[in-house]
Amino acid sequence: MLTNTELEELEKKYFNILSELLERHIGQIITQIYSQDFISGAATGGVTNVIESAVENILEGLIANQLHWNVCSMPVSSDSCFECGDAIIHIDAKTIKINDADHTGNRINVEAAQTTYVKGKSLTVSGKTWVPKLNQYEQHQLFGEIPNLTFIVKVVYSTTYRVEMIKLISLPHGQLEALFGGPSILCAGRSIRNSSRNNIRFKEADIVAVSNWRVKTIYVRH
Number of domains composing the chain: 1
What's 127's domain CATH number? Answer: 3.40.600.20
Element holding 16 (H helix, E strand) = helix 4-24
**What is the per-residue pLDDT for 222?**
85
Rounded CA-CA distance 212/154 in Å is 17
Angle (CA) 191-208-22 rounded to 5° is 80
Q: How many residues can be counted in the chain? A: 222
Q: Are 25 and 168 in contact (CB under 8 A)?
A: no
pLDDT, residue 130, reads 78
pLDDT at 13: 98
For residues 17 and 22, give the distance between their C-alpha atoms in angstroms, rounded to a whole number. 9
What range defines the domain where residue 178 resides? 4-220
What pLDDT, on the 0 to 100 scale, is given for residue 41? 63
What is the residue-level pLDDT of the chain in tens, covering all 222 positions?
999 999 999 999 999 999 999 999 999 999 998 887 676 666 665 555 667 888 888 999 999 899 999 998 888 788 889 999 999 999 999 999 999 888 888 999 988 888 898 766 777 767 777 788 889 999 999 999 999 999 999 999 998 888 999 999 999 999 999 999 888 888 877 766 666 777 888 999 999 999 999 999 999 998
> Measured at the alpha carbon of residue 207, what is the angle toward residues 201 and 209, in degrees to the nearest 5?
140
